[in-house]
Amino acid sequence: MSRPQAIEPGATLGILGSGQLGRMFAISARRLGYRVVVLSPDDDTPTGQVADVEMQADYLDLDRIAEFAQQVDVVSFEFENVPAATTEACEKFVPVRPAGQVLYISQNRFREKSYLRDAGLPVTPFHDLRSFEDLQAALLKTGGNGVLKTADWGYDGKGQVRIDAGTDPQSAWSQLNVPHAILEEFIDFQCELSVVGARGMDGELVTYGPMLNTHAHHILDVSIAPAPLPDRVLVEACDIARNVLERMNVVGVMCVEFFLTKNGQLLINETAPRPHNSGHLTIDAHVTCQFEQQVRAICGLPLGSNRQHRPAAMANLLGDVWFPNPPDWSAACALNDVKVHLYGKKEARKGRKMGHLTVLADSAEQAAQRVIAARNALQSQ
């Protein structure tokens, strides 16, 4: 297969969004000799601190967006809530990878789930809701249980309400206060998994994981790989993820998150068309990390090896770790096999992702114990 014209090192990559995912993308891009321009509404951001140029503009300031796009050779994004008008404005000048169409599907739970279901892929059963009456009708079908989620702007458990026998559906609906939502069936899962896939312009595809993920208050807490699960589950999760990236024609990186039900069925919970928190362990544990794959894929370069050096675990550092006292970095660094990653955010707030720790060990379980001990050491003063 002939390889499309690559965007070679020395070129300039544009990134929409300026959080930690953009920062780690920019670090990988710069290591490969690219220049990076970031655009977001904020200033002195995690990405801006390591990019060559930081542009502060509203995503809907289309003149500034055009100015941004004309400075770069390709555009990617680091979160899925970039407005469609923004990517369309960029596409007038340069390629956007993954394409705006992938973003459009992924940024709305109803569109995403319908797309995957219609493609024959296993998704959590859901009902489309445009009114409170739709919710009442859906609850009759689910036996009164479910997870009510906004169609737009949902992540990390934001915009969702669990409904069970003790919940007043009217107040749940009012709490959400949106014109479009879905009711998902409540899945009493065995565990949560994710696969990060990278796909190049010529269709080359590699996957990482599945990672086994545990959450605290709906936010990812710890990821481990390899997941200690039967081979059948590991292979099937990678196959489904591969299928999703191929069908959506993703050029770049996409994460597919799953529930593994108690009877061993894999159901897709959601997709994210960008590197993912659960893939952060690839930075220390794999030959090529998810961020370098994003750079390679959007530039039309061959992908790197996804070989894992050793079993690994990653623990998030939320702002909570900064309370009541700032973390004891000497204690963390004294555990000299623990890799500390910080995102340069000035203000620690509870629930805010400030950094993460990664540990490699002889087994993923050992790595998990060690990484959790390291996080505790940060706080034990």
* Identity of the residue, 87 or 213, whose beta carbon is nearer to ligand AMP in the bound complex: 213
Does 275 interact with ligand AMP (rule: CB under 6 A)?
no
* Identity of the residue, 114 or 363, whose beta carbon is nearer to ligand AMP in the bound complex: 114
- Three-class secondary structure of residue 142 per DSSP: helix
Nearest C-alpha neighbor of 95 from the set 296, 301, 298, 303: 298
Query: In the set 154, 210, 279, 300, which binds ligand AMP (CB under 6 A)?
Result: 154
Query: In the set 45, 269, 282, 290, which binds ligand AMP (CB under 6 A)?
Result: 269
Q: How many CB atoms lie within 10 A of CB 186?
A: 15
Does 307 interact with ligand AMP (rule: CB under 6 A)?
no
Shortest Cβ 162–ligand AMP spacing (Å)? 8
Looking at residue 319, the DSSP 8-state letter turns out to be G
- The interface region with ligand AMP, picked from 28-36, 127-135, 183-191, 350-358 by CB under 6 A, is 183-191
Task: Name residue 341's beta-bridge partners.
Answer: 356
Q: Which residues contact 239 (CB under 8 A, 6 or more apart)?
A: none
Task: Name residue 340's beta-bridge partners.
Answer: 357
* Identity of the residue, 114 or 379, whose beta carbon is nearer to ligand AMP in the bound complex: 114
Q: How far apart are CA 276 and CA 316, in angstroms?
A: 12
Does 184 interact with ligand AMP (rule: CB under 6 A)?
yes
Alpha-carbon Rg for the chain, nearest whole angstrom, is: 21
Nearest C-alpha neighbor of 242 from the set 271, 214, 218, 216: 271
Provide the phi-psi class of 67: left if phi over 0, else alpha when psi is between -120 and 50, else beta. alpha
Query: By rule CB under 6 A, what string of x and - marks binding of each residue 68-107 to ligand AMP?
Result: ----------------------------------------
Does 141 interact with ligand AMP (rule: CB under 6 A)?
no
Does 270 interact with ligand AMP (rule: CB under 6 A)?
yes
Query: In the set 218, 262, 307, 309, which binds ligand AMP (CB under 6 A)?
Result: 218
- Binding residues (CB under 6 A) for ligand AMP: these are 124, 147, 154-157, 184, 186-187, 192, 215, 218, 269-270
